[in-house]
Amino acid sequence: MNPIRTLRARFALWLTVLILAFLSAFGGYVYVSQHRSAYNAVDDALMLGAEQVLAALYEDDGSILMPLPDPNAPDLVEFIALAERGLTLRVLASNGEVLQAIGLFSHEPLPVPLPTQPAFHTIPEANEVDRIRVYTIPILENNQIIGWVQTAQSLANAEDSLDRLRTALLVGVGALSLLAGFAGYFLAARALAPIDKITATARRISAEDLSARLNLPDHGDEVSRLADTFDDMLARIENGFARERQFTADASHELRTPLTAMQTILDFMRAGERPAAEYRQALDDISEEADRLQNLVEGLLILARGEGNLKLQEDEIDLTLLLADLTDSLRPLAEAKRLSLTFERPPSIRLFADPDALIRLFVNLLDNAIKYTERGGIIVSAGEEEGDAVVEIADTGIGIPAEHLPHIFERFYRVDASRSSRGAGLGLAIAAQIVQGHRGRLEVQSEAGKGTRFTVHLPK
């Protein structure tokens, strides 16, 4: 697996990029505002210094007294405190000559134009001297420029601290983003660890062994829910496979029984010459087994077909008519056993359903009722109840013992093989499947020795 493509790596990468973007924006804002205020502070100091020097040049009567040229700058001594803080103060004559100056750049040439209005200039870095900020104001007397007051300060301090700030921000932002990335990676790895377990378990699962489960502790979070769902799904699949295996085993056992019977009859007949009557009997027996086989295969086919997606064609049918026809055609079967088969015919009941499937459903139920009744008869009734069509098939037969009732709709389930020698136990399973396919309900009530009542509810 490509490590960059794992979810945790992508999560960490995104986190790094996002944090980097946020911190960069924040750092940029901090740097720009620090930059502005550092330069503003220098300019303010320069302006204040220059104005103080200019004010000092005024006499009490309002006239201006230009200082005499003096390298010791006696007139500026009162500003020594400003000079000690790095400010250079100069008074220039009208020809640009420095009359008096104190501070670092007292007598340096400061190559800036001498303006007619107060102005700032920046002298670029040269000969290992850092940039210098210069403020110059003209000294006016009767609108005549008689000299200039100039203040200057190196920008080294401001720029040094800005440089340090920039380095700190760059390192800080980079380190924090990386840290966030690592933290994100480990958090994601922790959060996603169960997913790796799910993957490993899914790999271990095969059709032969579906018993693997995650059994993760339930933290109530998304991954726990996923793991739970996964375990539930495994349980359902395991169940489904087990049922399928059971079905296949049962089916092959059931198919083998009539085949073995036929084989036995054939072997016996072939062993030697037999009277003609025995051959006839043997053919009858084989034919009976073949019938059984055919019924079984048909039943299995119906069940298997319904297993995938029960595609019932839906037509509007008249249930009353359908039941009347069915009871009429099955009546001879009942009468052959001296049983009555009564249909308590209701007014027409119409519903949307698959007619072939419904015929199969009621034939199975009626066939059972006739098969498992020795005395009395069968009453079929139909009606409507809360929007459902309801059909009842009640017999006065041998009934089904209570302990068997929960199982009779299972495939191949027979209450006892001796009393239902003809059936394979598929009839009710098919009936249940058909009712389910119509989103209906199939219920049974029975009392051993008294009779059985099947109730079919079909939504209309």
Q: Using CB under 6 A, list all residues that contact ligand ADP.
A: 364, 368-369, 372, 395, 397-400, 408, 413-415, 420, 423-429, 452
Task: Kindly tell me which of 341 and 398 has the beta carbon lying closer to ligand ADP.
Answer: 398
Q: By beta-carbon distance, which residue lies closest to ligand ADP?
A: 423
CA gap 143, 215 in Å, rounded = 95
Task: Kindly tell me which of 110 and 430 has the beta carbon lying closer to ligand ADP.
Answer: 430
Task: Kindly tell me which of 212 and 444 has the beta carbon lying closer to ligand ADP.
Answer: 444
CA gap 81, 344 in Å, rounded = 123
Least Å distance between CB 424 and ligand ADP? Answer: 5
| CB 358 within 8 Å of CB 316 | no
Q: Which residues contact 89 (CB under 8 A, 6 or more apart)?
A: 49, 50, 53, 76, 79, 82, 83, 101, 102, 103, 149, 150, 151
Task: Kindly tell me which of 19 and 415 has the beta carbon lying closer to ligand ADP.
Answer: 415
Least Å distance between CB 307 and ligand ADP? Answer: 16
Least Å distance between CB 399 and ligand ADP? Answer: 6
Q: In what order do the strands lie in the sheet with 132-141?
A: 98-102, 88-93, 144-154, 132-141, 119-123
Name residue, tokens 């298997």.
Answer: 304
What is the rounded (10 degree) CA torsion for 445, 449, 450, 454? 30
User: Do the strands 340-344 and 119-123 form a parallel or antiparallel pair, or are they unpaired?
Assistant: unpaired
Least Å distance between CB 9 and ligand ADP? Answer: 58
Nearest to 88, CA basis, from 162, 155, 138: 155
Which tokens belong to 91?
């008074």
Least Å distance between CB 212 and ligand ADP? Answer: 35
Least Å distance between CB 450 and ligand ADP? Answer: 10
CA gap 135, 14 in Å, rounded = 50
Task: Kindly tell me which of 399 and 440 has the beta carbon lying closer to ligand ADP.
Answer: 399
Least Å distance between CB 334 and ligand ADP? Answer: 12
Task: Kindly tell me which of 27 and 427 has the beta carbon lying closer to ligand ADP.
Answer: 427
Alpha-carbon distance values, 38 to 27, 43, 90, 121, 155 (Å): 16, 9, 23, 16, 9
Least Å distance between CB 331 and ligand ADP? Answer: 17
Least Å distance between CB 234 and ligand ADP? Answer: 31
Dump the DSSP string for 380-395: EEEEEETTEEEEEEEE
Task: Kindly tell me which of 228 and 367 has the beta carbon lying closer to ligand ADP.
Answer: 367
Task: Kindly tell me which of 120 and 413 has the beta carbon lying closer to ligand ADP.
Answer: 413
CA gap 273, 80 in Å, rounded = 147
Task: Look at residue 340 and give its three-state secondary structure.
Answer: strand
Task: Kindly tell me which of 41 and 297 has the beta carbon lying closer to ligand ADP.
Answer: 297
Environment class of 139 (CB within 10 Å of its CB; exposed 0-12, middle 13-18, buried 19+): buried
